[in-house]
A and B are shown apart, each in its own frame.
With several copies, the nearest count.
Chain A
Amino acid sequence: MAFASDAPKDGFRLSMLIYDTRYRSYTIQIVVLVLFAMAVAWLLNNTAQNLAARGKEFNFAFLWQRAGYDIGQALIPYTNDDNHFRALLVGLVNTLVVAFCGCLFATVLGGIIGVLRLSNNWLIGRLMTIYVEVFRNVPLLLWILLSYVILSETTPQPRDFRVTDEMIAAGEEPAASMILFGTVAVTNRGTNIPAPLFERSLGSVQIGFLPVSLNLLAFILVIVASVWANRRLLAHAKAVQEATGDRPVTWWKSLLILFGPVLALKFALGLHLEIPELKGFNFAGGILVAHSFTALTIALALYTAAFIAEIVRSGILAISRGQTEAAYALGLRPNRTMSLIILPQALRVIIPPLISQYLNLTKNTSLGIAVSYLDLRGTLGGITLNQTGRELECMLLMMLIYLSISLIISALMNLYNSSVQLKAR
Chain B
Amino acid sequence: MADAAKMQISDEVAIQITGMNKWYGQFHVLRDINMTVQRGERIVICGPSGSGKSTLIRCINRLEEHQQGQIIVDGTELTNDLKNIDKVRSEVGMVFQHFNLFPHLTILENCTLAPIWVRKVPKKEAEETAMHFLTKVKIPEQAHKYPGQLSGGQQQRVAIARSLCMKPRIMLFDEPTSALDPEMIKEVLDTMIELAEEGMTMLCVTHEMGFAQAVANRVIFMDQGQIVEQNEPKEFFNNPKSERTKLFLSQILGH
Residues of A within 8 A of B (CB): 1-6, 8, 16, 18-24, 241-247, 320, 322-323, 325-333, 336, 340-341, 344-345, 348, 422-425
Q: Which B residues touch A344, using CB under 8 A?
A: 104
Asked if residues A245 and B104 are in contact (CB atoms below 8 Å), the reply is no
* Cα-based distance from A320 to B97 in the complex (angstroms): 13
Complex Cα distance, B101 from A323, in Å, reads: 7
By beta carbon, the residue of chain B nearest A244 is B122
Give bound CA distance, A329 to B65, whole Å. 14
Q: In the complex, are the beta carbons of B118 and A330 less than 8 A apart?
A: yes
Chain B contact residues, CB within 8 Å of chain A = 11-13, 16, 36, 61, 63, 65, 70, 72, 75-77, 79-83, 85-86, 89-90, 92-94, 96, 98, 100-104, 113-114, 116-125, 145-146, 148-150, 162-163, 166
B124 touches A242 (CB 8 A): yes
* A5 engages B82 (CB within 8 Å): no
In the assembly, what is the distance between CA of A107 and CA of B220, in Å?
Answer: 52
Distance from A328 Cβ to chain B, minimum over Cβ atoms (Å):
6
A331→B166 contact, CB < 8 A: yes
Question: In the complex where A245-B125, A345-B104, A424-B148 touch, is A3 in contact with B72 (Cβ < 8 A)?
Answer: yes
- Secondary structure call for the A interface: helix
Query: 5 new A-B pairs (CB below 8 Å) besides A3-B13, A243-B123?
Result: A19-B81, A19-B82, A245-B122, A322-B100, A332-B113
Known: A326-B96, A330-B166. A340 touches B117 (CB 8 A): yes
A-B contact pairs, 5 of them (CB 8 A): A21-B81, A245-B116, A326-B101, A329-B94, A332-B118
Question: What's the Cα separation between A155 and B188 when bound, in Å?
Answer: 70
In the complex the two chains form, is B114's CB within 8 Å of A331's CB? yes
Q: How far is the CA of A165 from the CA of B16 in the complex (A)?
A: 83
| Residue among A8, A24, A328 with most chain B CB within 10 A | A328
Whether B145 lies near A423 (C-beta < 8 A) is yes
Q: Specify which of A6, A246, A322, A425 is in contact with B98 (CB 8 Å cutoff).
A: A322
Partner of A331, one of B81, B103, B118: B118
Query: Which B residue's beta carbon lies closest to that of A6?
Result: B77
Q: Which of A6, A241, A331 contacts B86 (CB 8 A)?
A: A331
B77, B118, B149: the one contacting A425 at CB < 8 Å is: B149
Per the bound structure, the CA–CA distance linking A348 and B105 in Å amounts to 13
Rounded to whole Å, the gap between the CB of B128 and the closest CB of chain A is: 13
Contacts of A424 in B (CB 8 A): 146, 148-149
Once the chains are docked, how many angstroms separate the CA of A18 from the CA of B96?
Answer: 30
- Contact A241:B123 (CB < 8 A) given known A331-B118, A332-B117, A344-B104: yes
Assembled-state Cα–Cα distance A18/B86 (Å): 14
Q: With A1-B11, A332-B117 as given contacts, are A20 and B81 in contact (CB-CB < 8 Å)?
A: yes
Choice from A19, A22, A24, A326 contacting B102 with Cβ under 8 Å: A326
A425 touches B148 (CB 8 A): yes
Distance of A331 Cα from B85 Cα, bound (Å): 8
Tell which of A243, A246, A329 touches B61, judged by Cβ atoms closer than 8 Å.
Answer: A329
Cβ–Cβ < 8 Å partners of B114 in chain A: 330-332
B36 contact set on A, CB distance < 8 A: 1
Complex Cα distance, B116 from A3, in Å, reads 30
Contact A348 B13 (CB under 8 A): no
- Asked whether, in the complex, the Cβ of A331 is within 8 Å of the Cβ of B90, the reply is yes
- Closest A residue to B109 by CB, please name it: A340
- Residue of B whose beta carbon sits closest to that of A16: B81
Residues of B within 8 A of A323 (CB): 100, 102
Give the shortest distance, in Å, between B254 (CB) and chain A (any CB).
Answer: 27
* Cα-based distance from A242 to B112 in the complex (angstroms): 11
In whole Å, how far is A347's beta carbon from the nearest beta carbon of chain B? 9
Whether B166 pairs with A325 at a CB distance below 8 angstroms is no
- CB distance A348 to B116 under 8 Å? no
A357 to chain B, nearest CB (A): 23
Residues of A within 8 A of B16 (CB): 3
| Residues of chain A contacted by B148 (CB below 8 angstroms) | 422-425
